[in-house]
Amino acid sequence: MALFPLTSKFQGDFVLQLLPVDTDFSMDQVAAAAAHHSVGRRVAPRPKHVMRVRRQGANEPLPRTMKVAESGLQPMECIEVYFEPPSR
């Protein structure tokens, strides 16, 4: 359990932001932490959507329950947080 800085690139937001998380955070918790700094501030909420996390440029998201410590993410690596449509 340790503080771990990431770079958040949030869908619909214009700026990359410093995202302090914990190595024990799941990807869902990472997404929620990222949303705190974007959704309802510059990005409109999208009810019923699930927020997913992927490495910048990757096609597939990281598993929702995967912990930061297991993800292989580097400190300050840029993650993309995006809305997954509910139908999927």
Partner 1 sequence: MALLQRTDWYDLARTTNWTPRYVKESELFPPEMSGDMGIPVAEWEKYDEPYKQTYPEYVKVQREKDAGAYSVKAALERSKMFENADPGWLSVLKAHYGAIARAEYAAASAEARMARFARAPGQRNMATLGMMDEIRHGQIQLFFPHELCPKDRQFDWAFKAYDTNEWGAIAARHMFDDMMNTRSAVGVGLMLTFAFETGFTNMQFLGLAADAAEAGDWTFANLISSVQTDESRHAQIGGPLVPILVANGKKAEAQRMVDVAFWRSWKLFSVLTGPIMDYYTPLAHRKQSFKEFMLEWIVAQFERAMLDLGLDKPWYWDQFLEELDDQHHGMHLGVWFWRPTVWWNPAAGVGPAERKWLEEKYPGWNERWGRQWDVIIDNLVAGKRELTYPETLPVICNMCNLPINTAPDKVADHPLQYKGRWYHFCSEGCKWCFEQEPERYAGHMTLVDRFLAGMIQPMDLGGGLKYMGLAPGEIGDDAHGYAWVEAYRDRVKSAA
Residues that bind partner 1 (CB under 8 A): 5, 7, 9, 11-20, 36-37, 40-44, 56, 74-78
Between β-strands 3-10 and 17-22, what pairing exists: parallel, antiparallel or unpaired?
A: antiparallel
The residues that bridge with 51 in the sheet, in sequence order, are 83
Rg (the chain; Cα; Å): 12
Closest distance to partner 1 from the beta carbon of 41 (Å): 6
Cβ closer to partner 1: 12 or 86?
Answer: 12
Residue 38 DSSP class: H
Closest distance to partner 1 from the beta carbon of 4 (Å): 11
Cβ closer to partner 1: 65 or 68?
Answer: 68
The residues that bridge with 39 in the sheet, in sequence order, are 43
